[in-house]
Homo-oligomer: A and B are copies of this chain.
Amino acid sequence: MRVEQAEIARRVEKLKAASRAAGVKLTHQRLEIFREVASSVEHPDADAVFREVRGRIPTVSIDTVYRTLWMLNDLGLVATLGPRRESVRFDANLARHHHYICTRCGLARDFESAAFDALRIPDAVKDYGSVDSAHIEVRGVCDSCARKQCEKQAETDSKPPRGKQRSKSWPKRKRS
């Protein structure tokens, strides 16, 4: 199952606009890597994208795939499935509940929603397979991280990062 051509084209247009706006070069490999994610409904991982793209550009490196995927993520053109997760996290709350996840620090908190629990799972889902559980995942930036962000903001504002090093401005993803 693939995404319809028209939709793919629309997504590619967005990529072009976003690249221009961000001042990054739209290379052949970036285009193909994006096209691969944009035309799939499989939610591929880096390696899957790599394998596919290699069919069209035999010399792509896995590095480029990773770098590009994260760049697309930073540009808001693709999203990751599930919260950022450095390691597996466990939960002993067996009652029906939902999660709030901070996309910066990984903070996770439970909350409840009777309104959601009353909802019926769409029938379309049952076509995929059995349903064991359903819960909401809310993503955002927690108060603590928001505060840190402000401090950093103030810092950055004093030394204006002008010029064309925008590509270096993507924050490195943390390692715990």
- The A interface is mostly helix, strand or loop, or mixed, namely mixed
A141 contacts B119, CB within 8 Å? Answer: no
Given A42-B108, A135-B136, output 5 extra A-B contacts at Cβ < 8 Å.
A42-B107, A43-B108, A115-B120, A131-B140, A133-B140
Q: Which of B80, B90, B129 contacts A43 (CB 8 A)?
A: B90
- From B80, B94, B99, B176, give the contact of A91 (CB < 8 A): B80
Size of interface on A: residues with Cβ below 8 Å to B: 74
Q: Is A122 a contact of B113 with CB atoms below 8 Å?
A: yes
Query: Is A125 a contact partner of B137 (Cβ separation < 8 A)?
Result: no
A111-B157 Cα distance, complex, nearest whole Å: 42
Identify the stretch in A20-28, A45-53, A160-168 within 8 Å (CB) of chain B at 4 or more residues.
A45-53
Smallest CB separation, A155 vs chain B (Å): 21
